[in-house]
Structure formats: C-alpha cells, structure tokens
Amino acid sequence: MTAILFPEAMCLVDPVSGQTSWGANQEWYGDLWQRKAGCGPTAAASLIFYQMQKQRLRQREALYSGRQALLDQMNEMWYYITPSRGGVNRVSMFTEGLEKYRAVKKENFEIRALEVAEDPAQRPDWMTVSRFLEEALKRDEPVAFLNLCAGAEKRIDDWHWVMISGLNPQTGVITFFDESQIKEEDLSLWLKTTTKRGGFVTLRWPSPDTEFTSKD
C-alpha cells in the first residue's frame, strides 16, 4: 500500500457536536447549490489543506483540529473552481481554477493531471494510472479524482470528486476521503468499466529543506 504519511491531518472534530470527520464534506457549505455541486472545490480545498497541515507539522505547530480551517479553504476555493450547471465535470475546470488560485496566492506548486477519456481506446492503461498515483502518494501528495460514471464499481458516487489518500497497486484498490469518511473502491475496475470521462489531479510542492517522516 502506498499512502499519504499523515492521514490524521484530515481528522477533524466538530466543536459543538464532538463528531469526528475524516476529511471534508460538501454538506458543510452554507448554500444549497454549494452543497449540491461543491465536490470539485471541496476536493481542491482538501489538497491545499493537507499541505497546510504538513507545514504546521514542519514548524512544530499543532494541527488544525476543527472543521473551520478546512471550511474556510472550501469557501475560498469556490471562487476559483465554481461549478457550472453540470458541476465541475472536466479536469480542465479543476486545473484552470487551481492555476488562478496559484497566481493570486503566489503559491509555487505544480499542477499535474492525468485525464481518462470517454473512449476506452483513448484511455491510459492501468499501469499509467497506477504509476501516476504512486508517484504522487510516495511524495506524500494526495490526488483529486473525478468520476462521472462508476461503471461496475458502485462504492463511489457518480459525477463526483474525491481525494485519494492511498493505493494498493497489486489489487487496484484505492482509499479516499469522501463525505467525511475514509472509503475504498477498486479503481482498476472503474477504469475498465466507466462509460464516461474522468481524471486525476495532484499538486507537486517543492521539497522542504528538511525532510521528515514523523512528528517526533
């Protein structure tokens, strides 16, 4: 299994209810349309938030433990990745929004994307997809995943963005954050059976001056 190093960085607690959330939930948005169509900016915000949490670890600061910091990032990202009537249904909508965010915020991450065509003959094979995910995850960089049609793999919602946190390249199973839960699905099965386009996006950040592998 290849996975991000600090999944606990995405474990947040509601200060009122005490409920634990693993990652973001578009249901946190205040507006009905945002809650219905906000999976794209939610996934993008999650990529940024994970990097923010890692930066806090590097600086020996406490992790954000409540939802508000992630919700603030979701609300900000909405203005850069704003869903159309069809949602954020193309990888290009996601990456173009991140490019605008990067320019305004003067961030220095690279945006790396791998698109999956609707035509099976034009799709990358499993080795290519697996390599893309492994390369990102080995750098401790999660991956946003667009699925418009789940195909034969029914453990992920159609027309949806999620954040991948782990991959078993032998079985093709991924772990991902969605609806404030850790879930899994067979991505290799999805690649074989989806009938629509999809894709993956990751942010490559400059390596820190001092590498670290634990909080100790």
Predicted confidence (pLDDT) per residue in 113-156, tens digit? 999 999 999 999 999 999 999 999 999 999 999 999 999 998 99
- Residue 210: the pLDDT is 42
Backbone angles phi, psi at 167, to 5 degrees: -145, 135
pLDDT tens per residue, range 52-93: 999 999 999 999 999 999 999 999 999 999 999 999 999 999
66 token code pair? 């409540």
DSSP string, 121-187: GGS--HHHHHHHHHHHHHTT--EEEEES--TT-TTS-SSEEEEEEEEETTTTEEEEEETTEEEEEEH
pLDDT reading at 213 higher than 50? no
Distance CA 81, CA 94 (A): 6
Residue 213, in any domain of the structure? no
Look at the chain and report how many structural domains it folds into.
1
CATH code at position 143: 3.90.70
pLDDT tens per residue, range 157-210: 999 999 999 999 999 999 999 999 999 999 999 999 999 999 999 999 998 654
Residue 156, in any domain of the structure? yes
Residue 215, in any domain of the structure? no
pLDDT reading at 214 higher than 80? no
* Buried b / exposed e along 22-53 (16+ C-beta atoms within 10 A): bbbbbebbeeeebeebbbbbbbbbbbbbbbeb
- Residue 24: the pLDDT is 96
Residue 6, in any domain of the structure? yes
Distance CA 165, CA 92 (A): 22
- Residue 216: the pLDDT is 36
> Which amino acid, 96?
E
Residue 24, in any domain of the structure? yes
- Residue 209: the pLDDT is 55
- What are all long-range contacts of 26-33, with beta carbons under 8 Å and residues at least 24 apart? 26/74, 27/179, 28/67, 28/71, 28/74, 29/74, 29/75, 29/78, 33/83
- Residue 188: the pLDDT is 97
Residue 171, in any domain of the structure? yes
- Residue 16: the pLDDT is 79
Distance CA 138, CA 66 (A): 27
Distance CA 58, CA 18 (A): 27
pLDDT reading at 49 higher than 50? yes
pTM for the structure as a whole: 0.93
Residue 170, in any domain of the structure? yes
Calculate ∠ Cα 118-43-19, nearest 5°: 135
Range of the domain at 149: 2-204
pLDDT tens per residue, range 151-165: 999 899 999 999 999
- Residue 18: the pLDDT is 82
Distance CA 87, CA 173 (A): 26
